[in-house]
C-alpha cells in the first residue's frame, strides 16, 4: 500500500498556518436531554465577527453527529443554506452579530472512543480535551474561542439522580413525568475543551476549604457507591493542593464548589475541566488495603496537577494545541515541586529523572521525536507525550533555576496577571518571565523549538602548581526527524567540587575576586564549548556535574568506577549520589553483558558490591534513598545504553547481578528486612513509605537468592500485612517462581479482590510482567477471563500495555510472537478506541535499536498495521512515522 497517496493520508495541521478565529462565541447555552441511547443537544450560541478578522463562512467543527436543525436569529435554515460534511458545518453569509441554534443527536452508549459524551458503567460523562466537544455539538472547537457556558440538563430522575456541569449550580426542578432538571452556570469564559458534564447515581463525599481571602469553597468527590470508603486520600490531597498553590504561587480558587468525579472508563489519568475534574478511578480512589504507596503518591500528585490547572491551563489557557506544553509542562513542574515539598524532595527528583530518562529520552531518540512546542501534527491526541509533559516541565524548571525562586515567582505573577482570561503561547510565558526579571531568554527558547536530547561532554584538567582546575563543557544534539542540525542550547549546569574527604570545596572562577558562597553553583553553557577555570583549588577535586539534574541532557563524563564509587559514597547532592551509583551499576552491568556475549565467565564487581554493602549499612541515610540506591536500572534503560540492544543478554546480566548481590549481602538484607517488619498500622507518610519501600526491596533481593524458604517469607508477608503495598510486593515475587504456590497465591488473591477493579488490574499486571516462559500464553488466556474487557482502557494498559512495555524478554521473543500479539491487539483496539490503540504502538518506538532479525519482525508487524484499511488518524500517524 502506498502510504503517501493523498486520499489515504489524514490532514496535517501546521503551527505556521495559525489564524485567529473568524467568529467568536460570547455566550453558549447548552440544553441536554440525556439518554444513554440517544441524547439531544440544543446549543444556542451568541456569536459575532472577530474584530481581528474578516467576514466569511462561519465554520463549525463536528464529528459523528446527527444534525437535526439549524436556526439563525430564530429562523430555520433550509438544507441549501448551510453545508454539512463528516467534519464540519459551514454557514455562509452570516451577519456580524447573530444568534444560532443548533440541534444535534448523539449516541453515548455506542461511543467506545471515550471522547465526547459516553456511557461508563452507571454514569454518563464527557471528555472534551483536545477535540471531543465536536462530538457533542457543532462548535468552533479550538482553545482560543473562550465562552461563558450555561448548561441545562434534563433526565430521568431515578436513573440519573446526580447531574453535574461546570461552575455553580443555579437552579433545579422536577417535571411531572419523572424527569428532573438542573442548570449550571460557569462565569469564567473557557474554551470548549474544558466543558464537562456528568450524570449518574453517585455517592458524594463533601468537605470544605477556606481560601486565603476567607471564601468558603465546598469540595465534593463523586464516586460509585461501592467506592464510598475510598475518597479520603483524594480529599486530603485536594486541600493540600489548594493551600500549597496559595502559599507558593499566590493562586486562589475562584468558584463556590470544586468537584471531582471518578470514572472507570477513561483514556488518560484525569482531566481539569473547570470546577469539575474528571478522574480515571484508578487515579483518585485509595484505601491502604487496595492501593499501594505508589498509588497513594501518584493520586496526591494527580489531584494536585488537575487542581493547579485551574490557573495554569484554565484561567490562562493555550492559544492552539501546539502550545500544549504551556499548560502541561508548567503544571507538571508545579505538581513535581508540590510533591517534593510534601514528601522527600530527593526521592521525588530521582523518580522524575528516572521517568524522564527512560521514557522521554527514548521518545526524543526515536521516530516520533518532536519539540516541546511541535510544528505540526496529524492527530493532536498523539501529542500528549512525555516530551510535552515531562521535558516541558524540565524546561520550566530550568527557567526557574536561571532566574531563582523569587524571580520565578515574580515572573509567574506577571504571567497570570497579564494573561488572565486569555489563550496564549509559550512565547508569552517566557516573555513574562523575561520582563519580570529583565533577562534575555531568546537563546533559551530553543528548548521549546528543537527536538532531541542534547549531549553534554565534560573534560577536566588540574594544574597542581597553579592550583587551577578547569572544567570544559561541550554540547551537541543529534538530528531528529525534520531537524538535521541544531543550534546551541542555553544549558544551566549545576556543579560542585569535592575534595578527597568528600567535602565541598570553595569555587572561584578565574575572573572573580572572591570565592562563590555556596556548595553548588550554576554555570551557563551557551556556546558549543566553554571552559570554566577555577582558581585556588588546593587539591585535585572530583567534580560533581549536573547536580539535581539541572538540565535534561545526556551527560558524557568519563569517571572511573572508583570515582563513581567515591561520589556514590560522598556527594552532598543526593541526586548525584544516587546517579553516580546508577552509572556505576550501568558500567558493571554492561560489562557483564559483554562477557555474556563473549561467553566469558561472569563475575560481579567487588567494588560495586562493597558500595552497596556500605549503603545498606548506612543508618543515617533515608531508607527510601537506600532503596533507590539499591535498585538496578531497568532492562529497558540498559537496552537504551547499548548501540544494539541485546535483550536476552541484558536480562541474563541483570538477573545474574541481582542474584550475586542477594547472595553476597543476604545477612544484611535479612537483618534489614526483620528490623523493618515490626507490625505497624498503615499510614501514608514519607517515613512509613520509606520503611515499606526498603523492606520490599530487601524481600526482592532475598527472593532472588532462589532459596525456597524465601517464598515462604513472601507468603508470610502476604498473610500478615494490612496493606496492598506489602501484599502486592509479595505476590509479584511469587509470580516469578513456577509452581503450585504461585498458582495458589494468584487464585487466592483474585478470589479476595475480584469485586475491586483497581486491585484486579494489579492482578493482571503482575502476571503480564512475569518472567516465566509461558507468560504470553497466560496473557492471551487472561484476555478471555471475566476480569478483562478490551473496551476498558485500564484493563488494556494493565495487561497488554504491561506485557509489551515492561516485559522486554518476552515481548521481544525471538520468534516474533510478542510483536504479532501487539499488532493483533492494536488492530482490534483501533476499531474501538483509537487513542488507546495509538498509545499501545509506543512499545515499538525503539524498534530500530534492536538486532536485524528483531527489526525485521517488528517492521513486519508495523507494516501489517499500516496496510489496514480505515486506520484511525491516531494509529496512522504513528505507524507511518515509525516506518518513515
Binding residues (CB under 5 A) for Zn ion: these are 328, 331
Return the one option of Zn ion, ligand PHE, none that residue 370 interacts with (CB less than 5 to 8 A, by type).
none
Q: Which of 129, 306, 379, 877 is catalytic?
A: 306
Binding-site partner at residue 357 among Zn ion, ligand PHE, none, CB < 5 to 8 Å by type:
none
∠ Cα 866 868 872 (to 5°): 80
Q: How far apart are CA 856 and CA 763, in angstroms?
A: 33
Among residues 194 and 649, whose Cβ is nearest to Zn ion? 194
Name which of ligand PHE, Zn ion, none residue 767 binds, using a CB cut-off of 5 to 8 Å depending on partner kind.
none
The CB-of-869 to ligand PHE minimum distance in angstroms stands at 27
Q: How many CB atoms lie within 10 A of CB 586?
A: 16
Q: Given the complex with ligand PHE, which of 385 and 725 has the nearer CB atom? A: 385
First to last CA, the chain: 14
Query: Which of 816, 807, 798 is closest to 857 using CA atoms?
Result: 816
Q: Is 879 in the site for ligand PHE (CB under 6 A)?
A: no
H helix runs in 620-685, sequence order: 623-629, 635-640, 647-664, 666-675
272 touches ligand PHE (CB under 6 A): yes
Q: Which is nearer to ligand PHE, 328 or 877 (CB)?
A: 328
Instruction: Examine residue 282 and tell whether it contacts ligand PHE (CB under 6 A).
Output: no
Whole-angstrom distance, CA of residue 598 vs CA of residue 604? 16
Q: How far apart are CA 270 and CA 266, in angstroms?
A: 8
Contact range with ligand PHE by CB under 6 A, out of 224-232, 305-313, 390-398, 421-429: 305-313
Least distance to Zn ion, CB of residue 386, Å: 13
Looking at the Cβ atoms of 331 and 825, the one nearer to Zn ion is 331
User: Taking CB under 6 A as the rule, does residue 390 contact ligand PHE?
Assistant: no
Residue with cell 539535581: 548
Residues ≥6 apart with Cβ < 8 Å to 460: 469, 470, 471, 472, 543
**Judged by CB under 6 A, does residue 223 bind ligand PHE?**
no
309/672 with CB nearer ligand PHE: 309
- Shortest separation between residue 806's beta carbon and ligand PHE, angstroms: 22
Return the residue matching grid coordinates 479482590: 753
The residue (of 331 and 387) whose beta carbon lies closer to Zn ion is 331
Q: Specify the DSSP class assigned to residue 520.
A: -
The entry of ligand PHE, Zn ion, none near residue 846 (CB within 5 to 8 angstroms by kind) is none
Report cis status (omega within 30 of 0) of the bond before 183.
no
Report the partner that residue 227 touches, choosing among ligand PHE, Zn ion, none (CB closer than 5 to 8 A by kind): none
**Inter-CA distances, 761 with 114, 758, 788, 873, Å:** 19, 5, 9, 29
387 binds, among Zn ion, ligand PHE, none (CB under 5 to 8 A by kind): none
Residue 844 DSSP class:
G
The nearest distance, CB 300 to Zn ion, in angstroms, is: 15
From the list ligand PHE, Zn ion, none, partner contacted by residue 127 (C-beta under 5 to 8 A by kind): ligand PHE
Q: For residue 619, indicate whether it is catalytic.
A: no
Interface residue with ligand PHE among 233, 274, 305, 373 (CB under 6 A) is 305
Question: Which residue number, 377 or 469, has a Cβ lying nearer to ligand PHE?
Answer: 377
Q: How far is the CB of 312 from Zn ion (least distance, A)?
A: 9
Residue 271 found at the interface with ligand PHE (CB under 6 A):
yes
CB nearer ligand PHE, residue 270 or residue 873: 270
DSSP state of 795: H
DSSP string, 724-788: HHHHHHHHHHHTTS-SHHHHHHHHHHHHHHTT-HHHHHHHHHHHHT--STTHHHHHHHHTTSTT-
The nearer residue to Zn ion, 331 or 880, going by C-beta atoms, is 331
Radius of gyration of the chain from its Cα atoms, rounded to whole angstroms = 28
Residue closer to Zn ion by CB (options 331, 354) is 331
- Nearest approach, Cβ of residue 143 and ligand PHE (Å): 11
Residue 384 is a binding residue for ligand PHE (CB under 6 A): yes
Q: Out of 101, 141, 295, 328, which residue is the one contacting ligand PHE (CB under 6 A)? A: 328
Residue 113 as a binder of ligand PHE (CB under 6 A): the answer is no
Strands 39-49 and 97-106: antiparallel
By a kind-dependent CB cut-off of 5 to 8 A, residue 450 interacts, out of Zn ion, ligand PHE, none, with: none
How many positions of this chain bind ligand PHE (CB under 6 A)?
12
Cα–Cα separations (whole angstroms), residue 663 to 68, 698, 706, 707, 834 = 72, 12, 9, 10, 47
Q: At what angle do helices 686-704 and 666-675 cross, to 10 degrees?
A: 140
Least distance from C-beta 418 to ligand PHE, angstroms? 23
Nearer to Zn ion, 331 or 677 (CB): 331
Going by C-alpha positions, the residue among 391, 373, 262, 250 that lies closest to residue 308 is: 250
Stretch of 214-222, 263-271, 402-410, 505-513 lying at the interface with ligand PHE (CB under 6 A): 263-271
Site string for ligand PHE, 128-157 (x = CB under 6 A): -x----------------------------
Give the shortest CB-331-to-Zn ion separation in angstroms: 5
- Check residue 88 and give left, alpha or beta (phi > 0: left; psi -120 to 50: alpha): beta
306 binds ligand PHE (CB under 6 A): yes
Q: Can you read off the three cell numbers belonging to residue 316? A: 490562562
Pattern 594-633, ligand PHE, x by CB under 6 A: ----------------------------------------
Q: Which residues contact 75 (CB under 8 A, 6 or more apart)?
A: none
- Under the binding rule (CB under 6 A), the answer on residue 127 touching ligand PHE is yes
Interior angle at CA 876, CA 873 and CA 880, nearest 5: 145
Residue 828, strand partner residues: none
Q: How far is the CB of 837 from Zn ion (least distance, A)?
A: 22
* Identity of the residue, 101 or 877, whose beta carbon is nearer to ligand PHE in the bound complex: 877
Indicate which of ligand PHE, Zn ion, none lies near residue 384 (CB less than 5 to 8 Å, by partner kind): ligand PHE
> Is 268 a binder of ligand PHE (CB under 6 A)?
yes
The grid cell for 154 is 434534563
Per-residue contact flags (x/-) with ligand PHE for residues 340 to 379, judged by CB under 6 A: ----------------------------------------
Residue 452 in contact with residue 479, Cβ under 8 Å?
A: yes
User: Which element (helix H / strand E) includes 339?
Assistant: helix 324-342
By the 8 A CB rule, do 492 and 549 touch? no
Tell me which residues in 634-673 interact with ligand PHE (CB under 6 A): none
x/- binding map, residues 674-693, to ligand PHE, per CB under 6 A?
Answer: --------------------
- Between CA 287 and CA 231 the distance in angstroms is 8
Question: 82 is in the binding site of which of Zn ion, ligand PHE, none (Cβ under 5 to 8 A by kind)?
Answer: none
CB of 446 to ligand PHE, least distance (A): 25
- Give the three-class secondary structure for 199: strand
How many residues are recorded in the chain? 884
**Site of grid cell 532462589:** 706
Using the CB atoms, write b or e for 732-766: b if 16+ within 10 Å: bbbbebeeeebeebbeebbeebeebbbbbbbbbbb
* Residue closest to ligand PHE (Cβ): 268
363 binds, among Zn ion, ligand PHE, none (CB under 5 to 8 A by kind): none
Nearest-angstrom CA–CA distance, 117 and 147: 20
Q: Measured from the CB of residue 347, what is the shortest distance to ligand PHE in angstroms?
A: 22
Active site residues: 306
Interface residues with ligand PHE (CB under 6 A) are 127, 129, 267-268, 270-272, 305-306, 309, 328, 384
Amino acid at each position: 500500500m502506498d502510504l503517501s497517496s493523498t486520499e489515504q493520508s489524514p490532514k496535517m495541521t501546521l503551527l505556521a498556518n495559525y489564524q485567529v478565529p473568524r467568529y467568536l462565541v460570547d455566550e453558549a447555552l447548552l440544553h441536554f436531554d440525556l439518554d444513554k441511547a440517544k441524547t439531544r443537544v440544543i446549543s444556542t450560541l451568541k456569536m459575532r465577527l472577530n474584530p481581528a478578522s474578516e467576514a466569511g463562512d462561519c465554520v463549525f467543527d463536528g464529528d459523528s453527529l446527527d444534525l437535526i436543525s439549524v436556526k439563525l436569529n430564530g429562523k430555520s435554515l433550509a438544507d441549501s443554506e448551510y453545508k454539512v460534511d463528516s467534519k464540519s458545518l459551514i454557514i455562509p453569509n452570516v451577519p456580524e452579530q447573530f444568534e444560532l441554534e443548533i440541534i444535534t443527536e448523539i449516541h453515548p452508549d455506542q461511543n467506545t472512543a471515550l471522547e465526547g459524551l459516553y456511557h461508563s458503567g452507571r454514569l454518563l460523562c464527557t471528555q472534551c480535551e483536545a477535540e471531543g466537544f465536536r462530538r457533542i455539538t457543532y462548535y468552533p472547537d479550538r482553545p482560543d474561542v473562550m465562552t461563558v457556558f450555561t448548561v441545562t440538563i434534563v433526565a430521568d430522575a431515578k436513573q440519573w439522580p446526580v447531574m453535574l456541569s461546570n461552575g455553580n449550580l443555579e437552579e433545579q426542578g422536577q417535571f411531572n413525568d419523572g424527569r428532573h432538571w438542573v442548570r449550571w452556570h460557569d462565569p469564567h469564559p473557557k474554551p470548549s475543551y474544558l466543558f464537562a458534564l456528568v450524570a449518574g447515581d453517585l455517592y458524594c463525599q463533601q468537605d470544605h476549604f477556606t481560601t486565603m481571602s476567607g471564601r468558603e469553597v465546598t469540595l465534593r468527590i463523586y464516586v460509585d457507591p461501592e467506592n464510598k470508603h475510598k475518597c479520603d486520600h483524594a480529599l486530603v490531597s485536594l486541600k493540600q493542593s489548594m493551600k500549597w498553590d496559595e502559599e507558593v504561587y499566590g493562586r486562589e480558587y475562584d468558584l463556590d464548589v470544586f468537584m471531582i468525579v471518578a470514572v472507570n472508563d477513561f483514556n488518560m489519568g484525569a482531566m481539569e475541566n473547570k470546577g469539575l475534574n474528571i478522574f480515571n478511578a484508578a487515579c483518585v480512589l485509595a484505601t491502604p488495603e487496595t492501593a499501594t504507596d505508589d498509588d497513594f503518591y501518584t493520586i496526591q500528585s494527580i489531584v494536585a496537577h488537575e487542581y493547579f490547572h485551574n490557573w495554569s491551563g484554565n484561567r490562562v489557557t493555550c492559544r492552539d494545541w501546539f502550545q500544549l506544553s504551556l499548560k502541561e509542562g508548567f503544571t507538571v513542574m508545579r505538581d513535581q515541586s508540590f510533591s517534593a515539598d510534601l514528601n522527600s524532595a530527593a526521592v521525588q527528583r530521582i523518580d522524575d529523572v528516572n521517568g524522564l530518562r527512560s521514557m522521554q529520552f527514548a521518545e526524543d531518540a526515536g521516530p516520533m521525536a518532536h519539540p516541546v512546542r511541535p510544528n505540526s501534527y496529524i492527530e493532536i491526541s498523539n501529542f500528549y507525550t512525555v516530551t510535552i509533559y515531562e521535558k516541558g516541565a524540565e524546561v520550566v524548571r530550568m527557567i526557574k533555576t536561571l532566574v531563582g525562586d523569587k524571580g520565578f515567582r515574580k515572573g509567574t505573577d506577571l504571567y497570570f496577571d497579564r494573561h488572565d482570561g486569555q489563550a496564549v503561547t509559550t512565547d508569552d510565558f517566557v516573555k513574562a518571565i523575561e520582563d519580570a526579571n529583565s533577562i534575555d531568554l531568546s537563546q533559551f527558547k530553543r528548548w521549546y523549538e528543537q527536538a532531541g536530547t542534547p549531549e553534554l561532554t565534560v573534560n577536566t584538567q588540574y594544574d597542581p602548581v597553579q592550583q587551577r582546575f578547569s572544567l570544559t563543557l561541550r554540547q551537541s544534539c543529534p538530528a531528529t526527524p525534520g531537524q538535521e542540525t541544531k543550534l546551541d542550547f542555553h544549558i544551566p549546569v549545576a556543579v560542585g567540587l569535592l575534595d578527597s574527604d568528600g567535602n565541598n570545596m570553595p569555587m572561584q572562577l578565574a575572573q572573580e575576586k572572591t570565592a562563590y558562597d555556596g556548595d553548588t553553583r550554576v554555570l551557563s553553557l551557551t556556546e558549543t564549548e566553554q571552559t570554566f577555570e577555577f582558581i585556588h583549588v588546593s587539591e585535585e577535586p572530583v567534580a560533581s556535574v549536573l547536580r539535581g539534574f539541572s538540565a535534561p541532557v545526556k551527560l558524557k563524563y568519563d569517571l572511573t568506577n572508583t570515582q563513581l564509587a567515591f561520589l556514590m559514597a560522598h556527594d552532598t547532592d543526593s541526586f548525584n549520589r544516587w546517579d553516580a551509583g546508577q552509572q556505576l551499576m550501568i558500567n558493571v552491568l554492561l560489562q557483564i553483558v559483554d562477557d555474556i556475549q563473549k561467553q566469558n565467565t561472569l563475575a560481579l564487581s567487588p567494588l560495586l558490591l562493597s558500595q552497596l554493602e556500605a549503603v545498606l549499612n548506612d543508618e543515617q541515610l533515608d531508607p527510601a534513598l537506600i532503596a533507590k540506591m539499591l535498585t538496578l536500572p531497568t532492562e529497558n534503560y540498559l537496552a537504551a545504553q547499548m548501540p544494539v540492544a541485546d535483550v536476552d543478554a541484558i536480562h541474563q546480566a541483570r538477573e545474574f547481578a541481582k542474584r550475586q548481590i542477594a547472595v553476597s549481602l543476604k545477612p544484611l538484607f535479612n537483618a534489614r528486612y526483620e528490623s523493618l517488619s515490626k507490625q505497624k498500622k498503615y499510614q501514608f507518610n514519607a517515613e512509613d513509605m520509606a520503611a515499606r519501600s526498603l523492606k520490599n526491596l530487601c524481600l526482592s533481593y532475598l527472593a532472588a537468592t532462589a532459596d525456597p524458604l524465601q517464598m515462604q517469607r513472601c507468603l508470610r508477608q502476604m498473610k500478615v500485612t494490612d496493606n496492598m503495598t506489602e501484599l502486592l510486593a509479595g505476590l509479584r515475587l511469587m509470580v516469578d517462581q513456577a509452581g503450585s504456590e504461585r498458582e495458589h497465591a494468584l487464585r487466592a488473591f483474585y478470589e479476595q479482590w475480584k469485586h475491586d477493579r483497581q486491585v484486579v488490574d494489579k492482578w493482571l499486571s503482575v502476571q503480564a510482567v512475569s518472567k516465566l516462559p509461558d507468560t504470553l500464553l497466560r496473557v492471551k488466556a487472561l484476555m478471555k477471563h471475566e476480569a478483562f474487557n478490551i473496551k476498558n482502557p485500564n484493563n488494556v494498559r494493565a495487561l497488554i500495555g504491561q506485557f509489551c512495555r515492561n516485559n522486554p524478554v518476552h515481548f521481544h521473543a525471538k520468534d516474533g510472537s510478542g510483536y504479532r500479539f501487539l499488532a493483533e491487539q492494536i488492530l482490534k483496539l483501533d476499531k474501538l478506541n483509537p487513542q488507546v490503540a495509538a498509545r499501545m504502538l509506543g512499545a515499538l518506538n525503539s524498534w530500530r535499536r534492536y538486532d536485524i532479525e528483531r527489526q525485521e519482525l517488528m517492521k513486519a508487524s508495523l507494516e501489517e498495521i499500516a496496510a489496514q484499511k480505515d486506520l484511525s488518524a491516531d494509529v496512522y500517524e504513528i505507524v507511518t512515522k515509525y516506518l518513515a
